[in-house]
Amino acid sequence: MDCASPGGTDTSTDPDLDKNQAFEQGHAAAAGLTPPDSGDRSNGELGPKTLRRLAQNREAARRSRLRKKAYVQQLESSGLRLAHLEQELQRARQQGFLVSTLGDQPDSENGDGASSFYVEYARWLEEHHKQADELRAAVSAHAGDGDLQAIVDTVMARCDEIFRLKGAAAKADAFRVLSGTWTTPVERCFLWLGGFRPSELLKLLASRLEPLTEKQLDSIDVLRRSSLQAEEALSREMEALRQSVTETIAAAGSSSQSCSDDDCTGQMAAAVGKLGAMEGLLRQADDLRLRILEETRRVLTIRQCARAVLVVSDYFSRMRALSSLWIARPTTGVN
């Protein structure tokens, strides 16, 4: 004999009720939520407790979908920004702002050291973009620390290599390295002794790697103050060198004799000898940059290191792209 409800409807075979129950349970299971309590029924109807659970499950699922949608939109937005930067960088290359083609021209006076650096830098830059993209994908995919460590190690090893090549170029021609002729015009305006200021890099990371612990912030602050002191000392040495060379060549032209005389020639030779100290200053500046990078790396966790690489990479990409944007800016005629 069938067991019927007071209204005469068999709840065990009601297809609409079974379908609704299956839908709610399946939706909750898919979202990893608590299934409704099948025992909380009365006369074929869902009880208040079950209804509350279903409502909570639906709300939690809705929030989960919104979070996923926001995350996907953030990834898409980041991808668009990166693509825009790459387009601007490519345009800058096409317009000749990255003068790596100078490396194809022989340098008979100084050998291949300075010229070949331009070619190597252009290759390094292309490879760095690929490594940054790989690291960005790994960070977005929440890769393990081991995978992130491997990519960061590769990036840092490549940085060591480009600094080594830069040192060889400085031996060949310190002034071409000092002027940063392999960089874009905008980058050159912000160069310090042929490269970036480590203290500025630390300031950038401190503001973009939040949240950092108090201990990490203190360590970065100590590094920044140490870097500032070293930068100021090197800047003073550079200024003293300039002043010394200026005085030497001024003295060479102070007499009524022509500069072909032995005395004048000797003074000019002395000025050239003083300029030889430029290579040492560039080497010390690059040593400071590498030291700050390594010490900063020890302060951060591996995931923070990965984010730091991306922050710095994006910063310099924007700096390079700024040159092409500057050239392409609309200008108005002078009346």
- Whether 3 is covered by a domain: the verdict is no
Separation CA 33–CA 63 (nearest Å) = 12
pLDDT at 96 over 60: no
Please give the pLDDT value at position 97. Answer: 44
- Whether 34 is covered by a domain: the verdict is no
- Whether 104 is covered by a domain: the verdict is no
Which pLDDT tens digit goes with each residue over 57-74?
Answer: 888 888 888 888 877 777
Please give the pLDDT value at position 1. Answer: 44
- Whether 63 is covered by a domain: the verdict is no
Strand partners, 41: 46
pLDDT at 163 over 50: yes
Please give the pLDDT value at position 257. Answer: 53
- Residues 232-256, mean pLDDT to the nearest whole number: 88
- Residues 21-31, mean pLDDT to the nearest whole number: 51
- Whether 100 is covered by a domain: the verdict is no
331: Cβ–Cβ under 8 A, 6 or more apart, which residues? none
Task: Please state the domain count of the chain.
Answer: 1
Give the range among 41-45, 180-184, 270-274 with minimum mean pLDDT.
41-45
pLDDT-based confidence at 47, cuts 50/70/90? Answer: confident
3-state secondary structure the chain: CCCCCCCCCCHHHCHHHHHHHHHHHHHHHHCCCCCCCCCCEECCEECHHHHHHHHHHHHHHHHHHHHHHHHHHHHHHHHHHHHHHHHHHHHHHHCCCCCHHHHHCCCCCCCCHHHHHHHHHHHHHHHHHHHHHHHHHHHHCCCCHHHHHHHHHHHHHHHHHHHHHHHHHHHHCHHHHHCCCCCCHHHHHCCECCECCHHHHHHHHHHHCCCCCHHHHHHHHHHHHHHHHHHHHHHHHHHHHHHHHHHHHHHHCCCCCCCCCHHHHHHHHHHHHHHCHHHHHHHHHHHHHHHHHHHHHHHCCHHHHHHHHHHHHHHHHHHHHHHHHHHCCCCCCCC
- Whether 102 is covered by a domain: the verdict is no
Which pLDDT tens digit goes with each residue over 200-229?
Answer: 999 999 999 988 999 999 999 999 999 999
- Whether 158 is covered by a domain: the verdict is yes
**Structural domain boundaries enclosing 154:** 112-253+260-320
pTM of the model: 0.66
Highest-confidence range of 9-18, 245-254, 325-334, by mean pLDDT?
245-254
What distances in angstroms separate CA 153 from CA 71, 100, 300, one per listed residue?
28, 26, 14
- Whether 156 is covered by a domain: the verdict is yes
